[in-house]
Structure 1
Amino acid sequence: GAGEAGWWLGASHWSRYSLGRISPRLSTKAIVTVSFPGILKATKYRDRCLQVTLLQTKTRGSADCLYLNIFVPHGLSVSSNLPVMVYLFGGAFLLGASNDLAILGDSLYDGKEMADRGDVIVVTVNYRVGTLGFLSSGDARLPGNYGLWDQHAAISWVRRNIRKFGGNPDNITIFGQSAGAASVSFQMLSPYSKGLFRRAITQGGVALSPWALQTNPMALTKKIARKVGCWRSDEDEMLSCLKVSDPVGLTMAGKIDIMLLLGKGVVMDLLELAPVVDGDFLPDEPMKLFPNAAQFDYLAGVNSMDGHIFAGVDVPSINSEKANTTEEQVKGLLGGLTKEKGNAAVASAFGVYSVHWGSVPQPDVVKKTVADIETDFLFLVPTQIALQLHANNTNACRTYSYLFNMKTRIPGFPRWVEAEHAEELQYLFGKPLSTPLVYFPRHRDLSRYMIAYWTNFAKTGDPSKGDSKVPVPWPPFTRNHQPYLIINHRMNKYSVSYDLRSYYVDYWTRTYSQMSAAHTSEEPQKLTPGGMEDGNESLD
């Protein structure tokens, strides 16, 4: 036996271990770990947490879902004191699993290649998503953040037990992508994480992203209550009804209704279920919690077109060869993103993003601008703010910034499209190496580079230093010096650049943030890339 809920399976390249069970209904943060007498034959993945399907038509998964998967590199002898990398999956806080998106028989998040090539232990974990993971009343009656507590419990379990698998509990790195990256960011900011892990990596998302925080949770909870027949004028009665409601019905009530768009608003508005400031796990607004993150080494970045897939829903013409994208469509998108600031913000932002068009803009230039707007607003600018705040607050730990811009492999998109949202994951998890027939040599080169940088960082806190050779040294991001690494298959000394899209970062963090709100409201507003009003925090 290896302690609570953990067992060594020396004959297996990777093994899976129970994290515990939860109530199928809306529950408290308490999670009970269970023991298992003897050796657990961990030969298949367990169920994902109960969630809607990708098409939002039904549910899948189970309430008995809090399991984790441990990938241990196996050589001629059993390793010891290995660095540990814990991965948190993405999926808009609505769907996903530790073994999601099977590619040619293997999960996208299969950790074997990274574990073997980087000589690290990789752990992937499940956590509750959707209504059961993030529904909240905004107070202690239904505090929310259950999915974040699940992640915390998983990381805590790893710290207590990973030594039995050859891991070093004092050298844990957590990493994630999209909502998983925002989750990593929230874990860094929570006071409950003090001393729990050592380093963190966020890929395409941070706690400051405008989609990462629900600022009006009770309004959403009332909407969910109406859908499941729990609406009551008395809030306590309504919440009591929700707590005993059918979990499948609750889960379906949290689905995204794509038909609500119909050319109005933006996709971001549909992503309603998310973490909240609960006064406990997140005791304050994320912007104010960065002193808590100063204890961790931090590596963060985005893909060059993280926003393209969302822009293609908001402005479909950008992916059409036959249709041009008009100025009115660009302004409409900006209006949807900046509606809390009003028409003045639309005119201001349009001027910033169209300044390079010329008198007769090329159609592809306009279309790429739409993708850039959503990439900046949803991903790049919030990440740059997070990097700066981390560098400002830390003395002993390091900060690193990157831009992943490998051209997309997704067929059918225009030629100008570079790296889509989540497209870096196939390289990080070594798919070009494990399934070489569907990739080219350049993709295998890139995969080796990413695995080397990420696992070196997990080992030493410096992505350039470790057992794995890298193509170019990666300089740290500091308070006054802001280099970033451009990651693709052609990496050399010119892959280091400086001040990533600083013209646009400055616009959103300074000019936009100083604009007056379009209306006053007693409700706190969503944090936007420019959400630094009222002197909450300075980047200077």
Structure 2
Amino acid sequence: MGLKDQVMVLRWIRDHIDKFGGDPNSVTLWGYSAGSLSVGLHMLSPMSKGLFHRAIMQSASPLGHFRYDNNQMELAEKQAKLLECPTAPVADMVKCLKEKPMMDYVKTSADMFESNWNPIYNWFPVVEADFGQERFLTEDPYKTMMSGNVSKVPLMIGLAEYELYFFAYHTLLNEEQRQHFIDEFDKYAPIYFMYERSGPISSNISQQLGAYYLQGNPIEFPKSVEKFAEVYSDSLICFANHRFLQMIAEHVPVYNYLFNYKGRFNYFKLDEALGAMHLDELLYFFNSPLLTPTFTAGDPENDTIERLTRLWYEFAKKGDPNNPSDDYLKNIQWPLHSSNNMEYLQIDEDVNVKMNGIFSDRMKFWETLFPLQEVVGKF
């Protein structure tokens, strides 16, 4: 993810953006998917302190049940073997890896994953050991969050309703992958859904996931796709967003949203699409000539586009998405998230304030799988 490279960009903006008419004291970080995970980490990193003043996180977060190790030596060694480099001593391995052409890495990239490009977060940030260098992460993100040593900036955070439906669809469409889950759910679920691979705890999690989402029903295509999509989405995106939201809201003002809008130009075109999925909002934020027309006032998407872009603009400008003087926003009262009511804005053809949190029953289930007390009890 180039997190230190991103810090260098933020420092360049701080030092030079005024030469281009920008304000170094009014910088908004905005990220989607892996970019959103990056934004969340910037909120927790000492290297990023003071370099931005608002944050927008869409459809990914750095918390949840993910592990932050001190290194990923096993991945380096795996790559070395694939490229016929020595794995020891480390200096020789690094020297050899640096000399390999870029296309050698491309050609072996699929083999770096355990199963069909899974887990999707194969490379993950690490908590760096102190060798006298600037460290992006100096401790586990949970520990930083618990201490409150975060960037105190307003945050907008949210999800799409059917985040990884298309991942689930294509996984079960593939006969080989579908059979893997039918025959060895306990083996493949931890790989795809990113929890510990073996042992009684892993087996127990797998059994609970199968019972809760599939409810004892056989895995079939297309019958099982919707429920399989829920566990795919919850494991990789929704629970992490939920956990980050609950913890960061103790320290900063947060606006939470759920994007439901199913337009004519969402990415997943098949009739089986139930609603908005991962990346769909971006089609209504940015001009994408290969994917969408140039929308006009007469298009059915126009009101959604106007509301989205104006809400995000207002937040990027002043840390509050509301503007009662704007004709498109005057009927929208987007409240801050509170731990009591867990308010969020549901964005569909109409925009409504909802309470009690996004996917609250599913998130309560995940809280039982990965209780916060057990995580923070390690520190």
TM-score by length of 2: 0.81
Match of 2:206 among 346, 351, 356: 346
Post-superposition Cα deviations, 1:76-119, rounded to whole Å, max 9, x if no partner, equal xxxxxxxxxxxxxxxxx4xxxxxxxxxxxxxxxxxxxxxxxxxx
Alignment of 1:300-449 (within 5 A): 300-316=157-173, 334=189, 336=191, 337=193, 338=195, 339-340=197-198, 341-354=201-214, 366-392=224-250, 394=251, 397-407=252-262, 409-410=266-267, 412-429=269-286, 435-436=293-294, 441-449=299-307
Task: Give the 3 Å change call, closer, same or farther, for CA 466–278 of structure 1 in structure 2.
Answer: farther
For residue 31 of structure 2, give the secondary structure of its aligned residue in structure 1.
strand
8 A Cα contact 1:294 1:390, kept in partner: no
8 A Cα contact 2:59 2:159, kept in partner: yes
Provide the rounded CA distance (Å) in 2 between the counterparts of 1:329 and 1:314.
Answer: 15
Match of 1:507 among 346, 365, 373: 365
8 A Cα contact 1:430 1:451, kept in partner: no
Match of 1:246 among 100, 107, 110: 100
Match of 1:233 among 88, 104, 113: 88
Provide the rounded CA distance (Å) in 2 between the counterparts of 1:388 and 1:372.
Answer: 20
8 A Cα contact 2:45 2:137, kept in partner: yes
Alignment of 1:61-72 (within 5 A): none
1:533 equivalenced with 2:370 (yes/no) = no
Provide the rounded CA distance (Å) in 2 between the counterparts of 1:334 and 1:298.
Answer: 32
Counterpart in the other structure of 2:53: 198
Q: CA deviation at 1:487?
A: 1.4
* Higher RCO (C-alpha 8 Å, min separation 6): 2
Q: Which moved more, 1:436-445 or 1:381-390?
A: 436-445
Provide the rounded CA distance (Å) in 1 between the counterparts of 2:3 and 2:142.
Answer: 18
Residue identity matched to 1:366: S
Q: CA deviation at 1:508?
A: 1.3
Provide the rounded CA distance (Å) in 2 between the counterparts of 1:212 and 1:183.
Answer: 15
8 A Cα contact 1:301 1:380, kept in partner: no
Counterpart in the other structure of 2:9: 154
Counterpart in the other structure of 1:144: none
For residue 269 of structure 1, give the secondary structure of its aligned residue in structure 2.
coil
Provide the rounded CA distance (Å) in 2 between the counterparts of 1:302 and 1:389.
Answer: 17
Counterpart in the other structure of 1:452: 310
8 A Cα contact 1:442 1:489, kept in partner: no
8 A Cα contact 1:206 1:382, kept in partner: yes
Residue identity matched to 1:478: S
Provide the rounded CA distance (Å) in 1 between the counterparts of 2:244 and 2:268.
Answer: 33
* % identical aligned pairs: 26
Task: Give the 3 Å change call, closer, same or farther, for CA 440–331 of structure 1 in structure 2.
Answer: farther
Provide the rounded CA distance (Å) in 2 between the counterparts of 1:437 and 1:458.
Answer: 23
8 A Cα contact 1:364 1:416, kept in partner: no
Match of 1:268 among 118, 122, 131: 118
Post-superposition Cα deviations, 1:12-55, rounded to whole Å, max 9, x if no partner, equal xxxxxxxxxxxxxxxxxxxxxxxxxxxxxxxxxxxxxxxxxxxx
8 A Cα contact 1:315 1:333, kept in partner: no
8 A Cα contact 1:303 1:420, kept in partner: yes
More helix by percentage: 2
RMSD: 3.6
Task: Give the 3 Å change call, closer, same or farther, for CA 531–412 of structure 1 in structure 2.
Answer: farther
Residue identity matched to 2:17: I
8 A Cα contact 1:304 1:420, kept in partner: yes
8 A Cα contact 1:189 1:289, kept in partner: yes
Provide the rounded CA distance (Å) in 2 between the counterparts of 1:255 and 1:531.
Answer: 37
Counterpart in the other structure of 1:296: 153
For residue 323 of structure 2, give the secondary structure of its aligned residue in structure 1.
coil
TM-score by length of 1: 0.59
Q: CA deviation at 1:502?
A: 1.7
Provide the rounded CA distance (Å) in 1 between the counterparts of 2:108 and 2:296.
Answer: 37
For residue 451 of structure 1, give the secondary structure of its aligned residue in structure 2.
helix
Q: CA deviation at 1:504?
A: 1.5
8 A Cα contact 2:42 2:48, kept in partner: yes
- Mark the runs of 5 or more structure 2 residues left unpaired by the alignment: 130-134
8 A Cα contact 2:82 2:108, kept in partner: no
More strand by percentage: 1
Provide the rounded CA distance (Å) in 2 between the counterparts of 1:179 and 1:252.
Answer: 20
8 A Cα contact 2:113 2:119, kept in partner: no
